[in-house]
Amino acid sequence: MPDATTNRAAPPAAATSRQAAPPPRPQRTRLQASLGGAGARLQRWAENPWRRLSLLLIVLLSCFFIGGAIGTITGALAFLDPLAALICVVAIELAVRWRRPLLQQPGDRLGLQLLDMARIGLLYGLLLEGFKLL
């Protein structure tokens, strides 16, 4: 008795060459709309020079604190020093590589300035912790 699956005819060539329909787009929620416009709202808010300066200073000092905390915690544990150093170097290198697309964008350079302040703060925090250990 022949198997039922072997007697099937091959589908016509026209049916297999059709393009698959694109997946349906998810609906636009208020959260998505709010987060989508956050960068533009931040740039509008930072048009004032004092606000921009305070935002850059907050990012610099926050990353300085994070760099100091990383150095202190890994130094106190004395367990994952090479791994923590590798993670910090990779993070700083990724930030350097993210600069190139930001440099080529026209208009306001708030994102570039924030990235630079974060890099400088993290590096200075780690450097200060290194000097404390000497």
Burial (0-12, 13-18, 19+ Cβ within 10 Å), 36:
exposed
Q: Which of 2-6, 104-108, 125-129 has the lowest mean pLDDT?
A: 2-6
- What does the block give as tokens for 52? 């921009």
In a 3-state reduction of DSSP, which class is residue 56?
A: helix
Which pLDDT band holds residue 42 (cuts at 50, 70, 90)? confident
The span from the CA of 113 to the CA of 119, in Å, is 10
Please state the separation of Cα 88 from the chain's center in Å.
Answer: 15
Q: Is the pTM of this model over 0.85?
A: no
Domain ranges for the chain? 51-134
Q: What is the mean pLDDT of the chain?
A: 83
